[in-house]
């Protein structure tokens, strides 16, 4: 569906909803209409709410339409957030309140003391909360959207075998094989253009699927459906509207879960030792306490593909863009990679990756600057305080990692791509900003606490391997410098898919 059609439909929906709210002026709304300087019951201030907040339903309606418009523009949805940190009087704050799709949302920079405590393990007054659309598409048993602390712990334990050392080593080998084949054997003619996003999506999809369900699975053919599910995750929930993005995502989900169901039957009859599905099926047959049902397996295999593929592929494209903008850093990486002394057709192992010290810093710096997951949403289960602000029950608190990663008081010159900011030997302070490992500890790219990313090591491995294969064989620069972001994308990424011009390097 065209974005403008979606916007018109949204306006109609929100207008009807606003009208209903206006005529049923319930007491619960009153609290949302308080002005910036009001106090909560416990004397802590409410987060400031920007211009027009006193206008109640009209303000809520305008904020939602604005958010949707930014999401559908080439500027990306974070533009909406960033603009609201600056108050009407021009002063900037680290926390603000808005209203989106009928809910109060508070955005709080993770740099604020106390904000990261929201992410602590299993806080009794908070639960994870993703957009309803995301939860519908990933399924009721998905670990990513799970709100119950005890069910979440069970799912995390059940999925842990995927991240064991042997499984990680096998995954690295599989990703390396695919990256070598895609980047070297099928590389475009000298000085040809490679669409980095497509290559990264394809390689990561193949490797993640093989790790989850080895053998002859229909999943291998469903990359387009996985893409449709991700595109629908932040779409308007127009379930019944034929052709809507959300409906297309739901249909794609059906096809993917049907393929996984076939795999469950196949694996039940002939398990192997290599993939997650076999481990999960064997546990069930052995009556293991953490065994998962078929429905739990379906939702979580889909979740792992979605959580792992698009995020990492997007991170790889940003990394290539930053390195294209900084050819001297590209050269330094090349020198480190060639200095490893690997010759001929060598497979990369975890031991090799451990020696890529500067490359690892470049990966971390790319992840900081790209901040693929901009904020982490949680819902307040009762009235509470966050970073000194009063939060009411049912409000959504979004801990904003991007604000932290671009805070000059935490990361010196935050808009400059500088892997050496993570040098361990650079301790101390510069202009009051801590350096070296102190900066590393502030990184929040994979979340924190009980919901930390399960696949962060796999993500770093994929980025390191992709970088190594590229840097040891080519120089590259961007073929198109258009900075516009893709509309309606779940994670901020370049609209042009990061096309790079590859120039083979001479090893002799
Ligand atoms: C650069 C790539 C990646 C980034 C930036 C990333 C980021 C994140 C973040 C920030 C969270 C926590 C969200 C929150 O607390 O609200 C998360 C959770 C998660 N990630 Fe990743 N991720 C990446 C790659 C992967 C990979 C490769 C996998 C697995 C194949 C994966 C699986 C998961 C899962 C299962 C969760 C949910 C954990 C839980 O709720 O207990 N991620 N990811």
Report helix, strand or coil for 155: helix
As a whole number of angstroms, the distance between CA 97 and CA 104 comes to: 7
As a whole number of angstroms, the distance between CA 46 and CA 52 comes to: 15
At 100, which helix (H) or strand (E)? strand 95-100
In a domain, 40, yes or no: no
**Ligand 1 neighbour 276 (Cβ under 6 A):** no
pLDDT of residue 492: 92
- Residue pair 130/373 in contact (Cβ under 8 Å)? The answer is no
In a domain, 47, yes or no: no
DSSP code of residue 491: S
- The domain total for the chain is 1
pLDDT of residue 234: 78
pLDDT of residue 56: 76
Report helix, strand or coil for 345: coil
92 CA → ligand 1 middle, Å: 30
> Which atom of ligand 1 is nearest to 458's Cα?
27
Rg (CA), the chain: 24
**Ligand 1 neighbour 492 (Cβ under 6 A):** no
In order of 117, 400, 409, 452, the CA distances from 125 in angstroms are: 12, 19, 30, 18
235 CA → ligand 1 middle, Å: 21
453 is in an annotated binding site: yes
Range of the domain at 429: 154-504
DSSP code of residue 53: G
64 CA → ligand 1 middle, Å: 27
Query: Dihedral sign, CA of 401, 407, 412, 417?
Result: positive
In a domain, 41, yes or no: no
**Ligand 1 neighbour 380 (Cβ under 6 A):** no
**Ligand 1 neighbour 153 (Cβ under 6 A):** no
Largest CA distance in the chain: 78
pLDDT of residue 487: 86
- Residue pair 478/374 in contact (Cβ under 8 Å)? The answer is no
Copy the structure tokens of residue 92.
Answer: 């900037």
pLDDT of residue 35: 36
In a domain, 48, yes or no: no
In a domain, 473, yes or no: yes
**Ligand 1 neighbour 454 (Cβ under 6 A):** yes
Question: Nearest 5°: phi and psi at 365?
Answer: -65, -35
Copy the structure tokens of residue 8.
Answer: 């018109």
pLDDT of residue 132: 82
**Ligand 1 neighbour 172 (Cβ under 6 A):** no
In a domain, 83, yes or no: no
- Name 98's bridge partners: 105
Copy the structure tokens of residue 6.
Answer: 């979606």
Check which CATH number belongs to the domain holding 470 and give it: 1.10.630.10
76 CA → ligand 1 middle, Å: 21
Pocket test for ligand 1, best of 307, 313, 491 (most atoms within 8 A of CB): 307
pLDDT of residue 20: 45
> Which atom of ligand 1 is nearest to 460's Cα?
1
As a whole number of angstroms, the distance between CA 5 and CA 15 comes to: 15
In a domain, 498, yes or no: yes
- Residue pair 299/142 in contact (Cβ under 8 Å)? The answer is yes
pLDDT of residue 319: 98
Report helix, strand or coil for 126: strand
Pocket test for ligand 1, best of 172, 453, 492 (most atoms within 8 A of CB): 453
Among 253, 248, 229, 252, smallest CA distance to 6 is for 248
pLDDT of residue 426: 65
DSSP-assigned letters across all residues of 177-195:
HHHHIIIIITPPSTT-EEE
As a whole number of angstroms, the distance between CA 407 and CA 371 comes to: 13
> Which atom of ligand 1 is nearest to 309's Cα?
27
**Ligand 1 neighbour 149 (Cβ under 6 A):** no
> Which atom of ligand 1 is nearest to 204's Cα?
27
In a domain, 63, yes or no: no
150-209 pLDDT tens trace: 899 999 999 998 999 999 999 999 999 999 999 887 556 556 889 999 999 999 999 999
The C-alpha torsion from 239 through 243 and 249 to 253, rounded to 10°, is 90
Compute mean pLDDT per 10 residues along the chain, 508 residues long, and list them. 56 52 34 37 76 75 89 87 76 85 92 88 84 90 91 94 92 96 72 90 96 89 93 83 91 96 89 84 89 95 96 98 98 96 90 96 98 95 92 95 94 95 74 66 91 96 98 94 88 94 80
């Amino acid at each position: 569906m065209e974005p403008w059609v979606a916007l018109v439909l949204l306006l109609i929906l929100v207008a009807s909803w606003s009208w209903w709210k206006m005529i049923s002026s319930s007491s619960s709304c009153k609290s949302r209409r308080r002005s910036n300087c009001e106090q909560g019951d416990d004397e802590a201030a409410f987060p400031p709410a920007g211009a027009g907040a006193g206008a109640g339903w009209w303000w809520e309606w305008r904020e939602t339409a604005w958010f949707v418009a930014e999401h559908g523009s080439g500027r990306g949805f974070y533009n909406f957030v960033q603009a609201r940190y600056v108050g009407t009087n021009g002063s900037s704050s680290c926390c603000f309140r808005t209203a989106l799709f009928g809910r109060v949302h508070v955005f709080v920079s993770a740099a604020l003391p106390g904000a990261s405590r929201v992410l602590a393990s299993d806080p009794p007054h908070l639960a994870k909360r993703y957009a309803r659309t995301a939860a519908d598409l990933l399924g009721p048993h998905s670990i990513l959207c799970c709100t119950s602390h005890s069910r979440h712990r069970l799912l995390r334990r059940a999925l842990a075998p995927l991240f064991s050392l042997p499984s990680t080593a096998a995954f690295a080998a599989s990703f390396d094989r695919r990256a070598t084949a895609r980047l070297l054997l099928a590389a475009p003619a000298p000085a040809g253009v490679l669409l980095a996003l497509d290559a990264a999506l394809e390689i990561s999809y193949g490797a993640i699927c093989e790790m989850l369900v080895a053998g002859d699975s229909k999943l291998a053919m469903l990359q387009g459906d996985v893409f449709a599910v991700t595109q629908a995750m932040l779409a308007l929930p127009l379930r019944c509207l034929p052709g809507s993005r959300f409906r297309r995502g739901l249909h794609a989900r059906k096809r993917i879960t049907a393929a996984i169901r076939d795999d469950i039957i196949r694996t039940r009859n002939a398990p192997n030792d290599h993939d997650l599905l076999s481990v999960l099926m064997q546990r069930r047959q052995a009556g293991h306490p953490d065994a998962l049902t078929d429905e739990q397996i379906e939702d979580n295999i889909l979740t792992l593909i979605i959580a792992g593929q698009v995020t990492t592929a997007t991170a790889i494209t940003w990394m290539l863009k930053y390195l294209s903008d900084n050819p001297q850093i590209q050269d330094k990486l090349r020198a480190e990679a060639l200095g490893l002394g690997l010759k001929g057709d060598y497979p990369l192992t975890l031991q090799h990756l451990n020696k890529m010290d500067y490359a690892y810093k470049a990966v971390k710096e790319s992840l900081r600057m790209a901040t693929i997951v901009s904020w982490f949403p949680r819902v307040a289960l009762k009235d509470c305080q966050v970073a000194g602000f009063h939060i009411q029950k049912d409000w959504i608190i979004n801990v904003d990692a991007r604000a932290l990663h671009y805070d000059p008081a935490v990361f010196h010159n935050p808009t400059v791509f500088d892997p050496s900011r993570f040098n361990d030997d650079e301790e101390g302070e510069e202009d009051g900003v801590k350096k070296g490992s102190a900066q590393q500890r502030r990184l929040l790219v994979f979340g924190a606490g009980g919901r930390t990313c399960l696949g962060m090591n796999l993500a770093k491995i994929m980025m390191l391997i992709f970088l190594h294969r590229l840097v040891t064989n080519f120089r590259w620069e961007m073929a198109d410098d258009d900075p516009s972001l893709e509309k309606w994308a779940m994670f901020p990424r370049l609209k042009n898919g990061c096309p790079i011009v590859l120039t083979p390097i001479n090893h002799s």
